[in-house]
Amino acid sequence: MELATLKKTAISSELLAIAEKVFAEIRINNDECLTLYNTAEIGFLGWLANIVREKKNGNQVFFNRNFHIEPTNLCVFHCKFCSYSRTLKEGGDGWFMTQEQMLHIVQKYDGQPVTEVHIVGGVHPKLTIQWFGEVLQQIKKMRPDLHIKGFTAVELEYMFRKAKVSYVDGMKYLQQHGLDSIPGGGAEIFAEEIRDQICADKASAEAWLGIHQAAHQIGMHSNATMLYGHIEKFEHRVDHMSRLRNLQDETKGFNTFIPLKFRKENNEMSHVNEVSVIEDLRNYAISRIYLDNFNHIKAYWPMIGRQTAQLSLAFGVDDLDGTIDDSTKIYSMAGAEETNPSLTTEELVKMIKAVGRSAVERDTLYGVINEWN
């Protein structure tokens, strides 16, 4: 559909004005973003988001070959939405890996064309910045070519506070020991009134943003996330993305934005109903339209399932994460669609091509490794 055709429909003047701005590549404001959430139908949002994603990335859908290491799910913080973490007293299905066990996981991929290891976990009180620095050094000795993406801002804030170092100095220390970039986890919802209800005791929104700003300051890239579909309102989502967009204007250090769907199984928020697939797709589309300075929007396929991930490619998404190789439990423990999250490269390519997109294997920073047209 062209803009001229849209003008002949019964669309509201507010939505038409937003569409005209998007076509002209003019940034929409927070009020207009809220209008999209409150009034726009899914077909309109998909059409508009697809225009943005194709201007930025054509018909390409990116993925990488990666695996996860989750050193521990023992955590000092208590997030009500979390199905993954356990306290030190609980024991049970809690785990803790030694450095040797972590390195053994890396060793299993010797000779395989993986390009990234993703290291995240609970915040264990005995794991220091020095301990993780040693692990990073050993991984780089084993696989110098492997990109290490590690530690949420929540993990980093605790490490730095315990070590009594600034955000910048802490990031420099880890970078010097082998850390290449940081993931986007721990952002949840920035609005304080929501954060106080779902994760009151962990790193604040200001700390999360400050750590990512420090990473960008020393030349390190990062990702950004938003946990949606729980007790937040649309205005909280807009506020969250606004803070991210403002920081991206300043630093240009974010690679991609990843909306993360709240899953209710096995946590203290199981009384909150999960949002529908329709709302998932609307949220992807609106984030693509609003976050004009983010080059990529990622759908994390193990969380939403392969079919919804395919659908998302028509709603602004251009990245499906990676092969994962059944190496993460964070979302499967919360009732995610994929209980054994693993895809071969061939399966990912087939999934992407089945909806008429071109599959592109990338490295962590979106350098192209291979293309399947």
Residue range 157-167, pLDDT digits in tens: 999 999 999 99
Co-location of 353 and 299 in the same domain? yes
pLDDT at 87 over 80: no
Do the Cβ atoms of 204 and 153 come closer than 8 Å?
A: no
Co-location of 156 and 221 in the same domain? yes
Residue range 97-137, pLDDT digits in tens: 999 999 999 999 998 989 999 999 988 888 999 999 999 99
Tally of structural domains, the chain? 2
Q: List the domain range (segments joined by +) for residue 31.
A: 3-41
- The confidence band for 88, taking pLDDT boundaries of 50, 70 and 90, is low
Co-location of 294 and 202 in the same domain? yes
**CB half-sphere exposure, 110, CA atoms < 13 A:** 7
Region 165-183: what's the mean pLDDT?
A: 98
How far, in Å, CA of 181 to CA of 116, rounded? 10
Kindly give the interhelix angle for 167-176 and 153-163, rounded to the nearest 10 degrees. 100
**DSSP string of 57-114?**
HTTEEEEE-EEEE--B-B-S---TT-SS-B-TTT-TT--B--HHHHHHHHHTTTTS--
% of the chain surpassing 70 pLDDT: 92
pLDDT at 338 over 50: no
Region 331-356: what's the mean pLDDT?
A: 71
Co-location of 22 and 108 in the same domain? no
Co-location of 222 and 177 in the same domain? yes
**In the structure encoding, which two tokens stand for residue 361, read together?**
């294997």
Region 307-315: what's the mean pLDDT?
A: 95
Co-location of 133 and 32 in the same domain? no
Q: What stretch of H or E contains 250?
A: helix 234-251
Measured over the CA atoms of residue 44, residue 45, residue 46 and residue 51, the dihedral's sign is positive
Q: Is residue 236 part of a domain?
A: yes
Do the Cβ atoms of 234 and 38 come closer than 8 Å?
A: yes
**CB half-sphere exposure, 223, CA atoms < 13 A:** 29
Tokens 């009034």 locate to 39
CATH number of residue 163's parent domain: 3.20.20.70
What mean pLDDT, rounded, does the chain reach?
Answer: 91
Q: Is residue 332 part of a domain?
A: yes
Q: What stretch of H or E contains 119?
A: strand 116-119
How far, in Å, CA of 194 to CA of 241, rounded? 15
Co-location of 37 and 67 in the same domain? no
Region 293-306: what's the mean pLDDT?
A: 91
Co-location of 7 and 116 in the same domain? no
pLDDT at 85 over 80: no
